[in-house]
Amino acid sequence: MINIPLQISASGASGVDTELGLLDSKALPVRRVQLFFPPMVFPKFQSRQTALFPLGLGYIASVLERKGLETELVDCASEGYDTVEDIGKERVVYGLTSDEIRKRIEKYKPDVIGISCLFSTLEKRMLMIAKIAKEVNPDIVVVVGGPHVSAFYKRLILSASVDYCVNGEGEEVVDGLFDALNGKRSMDSVDALCYRRDGKVVYQPRKAWIEDLDVVPFPARHIVDMDLYFRIAEPQGIRLDGETPKRAAQLTTSRGCPFQCTYCAKNVTWGKAYRTRTAENVLDEMAHLMETYGVEHFAFQDDNFTADMGRAEVIFDGIVERGFNITWEAPNGLGVNFLSPHLLEKMKASGCTSFTIAVESANSALLRKVRKPNYIKLAPPIVEKAKELGIEVRGFFMIGFPGETLEEVQGTIDYARDLHLAVTNFAIVTPLPGTVFYNEVVEAGLIDERTVDFEDFAYGAGELQLAAVSNVQLKTMRKVEWLRTIFLDDTGVFKHDPHLKKSDVLDELAKATSMFPDNADISDLHNQAVLHYQMDDEQPARVAV
């Protein structure tokens, strides 16, 4: 246990509501728990809305229910999906309003509110919910967790509205915390927990991570309206036009990644080790989702799904052997060195429709500097084999590394174009909290943590200038390359069958021309699209983005 003197500082742009004379963290008996996923913030010209069941809170809810506690999960982003507000700086927020959140808390009358902060961009929204909870009833115990909290628990615990910060994966921490709140064990026996006591911040370090992930119960999806996600049908991109949206669900089969890339924050959430569920446990969850909710399509959300290639192959064989009539995708990025022609064939046989490779850069020196495995030569034959099998391949790339020149950026863009991927996503390098890279940027004096606004920490929206190329130019290049892969054929002509809804096509291009009015490539593409639809207004459109 570590005691840290309470240091109160003025509230910065981040919105932490610190004040003199902070009270000790509440410690009251618990019967009813209300979990919140905050409204979503994103750059309106660079991202799209999504509706995803919050897996992290789903796991926590299952632990709470196993303890016999009444539990409600409020997914503000999805429940208030149609409520969109422009909050300035080219950002929007969608989800339940503050008044709606207040009413939900007043109606449920929870003893504890738990709030997830999956992205740093949601810190203000998380703290807003915490503050509302304390206004409704000061005795409500407020617990926060998630990747952002794991990186900043020592600062967030200074918020007058936060009682406990959970550091890293939360199932065992929450289990111990709620036992302590109900007098079944001492609070100082709970690992990976930060709170206030006797005028000091108390931090109890983590001693271990969950080794056997099979002991963690499946997420408590039954406490939400799963049909909401199926109706919205915007899991991770543009919905197909002209076909009935599939009933899709997300799941994770592992935690962590074998690599230690300096720009990745997985260590603060999952630790340095790569841990997996057994293939049998994964297949059982898939069967449960199919039987209970009629799920037809799965999105594996792992950081590196095939890192254990032998286990992945057993999962793929199991899908076939059990006769699952499903399709699946891996949108979060697979390590190319953890793919092979043999495994790709197994993937196809088991229903794989698409996956993303995370190459990041075509510059070997940059890759070495950020400790990213070099896939430059490995990727082309893997992409070619996947295409032969009819599997769509997408790509993750990063531009804007510290000191990166225009020539180096263009080299990565040219490399991505040569792969002829279905979609290329270029992220502008962002120092995410909890990463080695973030710490380096702070130490260099490029980020002032007293005034930083974490809503700027969205890929493609930040203003922090790191590269030798201006951010404006990087943002333009990022958008142009995304649009090229979606809407242009290999000759640079607008696709006669872009497979997208006309409204989505024109909406995307209108956003792009609004953001980059002087870019000739975007203007030309927009003009081609308008002309195309004028010539054939009835042309069908269908492809996922």
Question: pLDDT-based confidence at 455, cuts 50/70/90?
Answer: confident
- Report the alpha-carbon distance of residue 283 to residue 301 in Å, rounded: 15
Question: pLDDT-based confidence at 461, cuts 50/70/90?
Answer: low
Question: Which is higher by pLDDT, 452 or 277?
Answer: 277
Q: What is the pLDDT of residue 459?
A: 66
Question: Which is higher by pLDDT, 528 or 344?
Answer: 344
Question: pLDDT-based confidence at 542, cuts 50/70/90?
Answer: very low
Taking 90 as the threshold, does the pLDDT of residue 486 lie above it?
no
- Report the alpha-carbon distance of residue 438 to residue 464 in Å, rounded: 12
pLDDT tens digit sequence for 270-285: 999 999 999 999 999 9
Q: Which of 54-68, 108-122, 330-344, 489-503 has the lowest mean pLDDT?
A: 489-503
> Residue ranges per domain, the chain?
2-204, 247-419
Please compute the mean of the pLDDT values over residues 131-147 and round it to a whole number.
97
Q: Do domains 2-204 and 247-419 have the same CATH topology?
A: no
- Report the alpha-carbon distance of residue 37 to residue 50 in Å, rounded: 13
Q: Choose the CATH number for 2-204 among 3.20.20.20, 3.40.30.10, 3.40.50.720, 3.40.50.2300.
A: 3.40.50.2300
Element (H, E) at 270: helix 266-270
pLDDT tens digit sequence for 18-30: 554 578 898 889 9
Q: Provide long-range contacts, Cβ within 8 A and 24+ apart, for 385-392.
A: 385/341, 385/344, 386/344, 386/355, 389/344, 389/345, 389/347, 389/348, 390/348, 391/344, 391/347, 391/348, 391/352, 391/353, 391/354, 391/355, 392/353, 392/354, 392/355, 392/422
Question: Which is higher by pLDDT, 127 or 92?
Answer: 127
pLDDT tens digit sequence for 161-215: 999 999 999 999 999 999 999 999 999 999 999 999 998 999 999 999 999 999 9
R_g of the chain, CA atoms, integer Å: 23
pLDDT tens digit sequence for 343-398: 999 999 999 999 999 999 999 999 999 999 999 999 999 999 999 999 999 999 99
pLDDT tens digit sequence for 401-437: 999 999 999 999 999 999 999 888 898 998 989 999 9
Question: Which is higher by pLDDT, 24 or 107?
Answer: 107
DSSP state letters, 149-176: HHHHHHHHTTSTT--EEE-S--HHHHHH
Q: What is the pLDDT of residue 422?
A: 87
* Percentage of the chain exceeding pLDDT 90: 68
Q: What is the pLDDT of residue 6?
A: 52
Taking 60 as the threshold, does the pLDDT of residue 458 lie above it?
yes
pLDDT tens digit sequence for 214-264: 999 999 999 999 999 999 887 665 444 344 578 999 999 999 999 999 999
Question: pLDDT-based confidence at 539, cuts 50/70/90?
Answer: very low
Q: What is the pLDDT of residue 535?
A: 67
Q: What is the mean pLDDT of the chain?
A: 88
Return the CATH fold of 247-419.
Answer: TIM Barrel (3.20.20)
Q: Which of 49-63, 103-117, 477-491 has the lowest mean pLDDT?
A: 477-491
- Report the alpha-carbon distance of residue 281 to residue 454 in Å, rounded: 37
Please compute the mean of the pLDDT values over residues 1-13 and round it to a whole number.
49
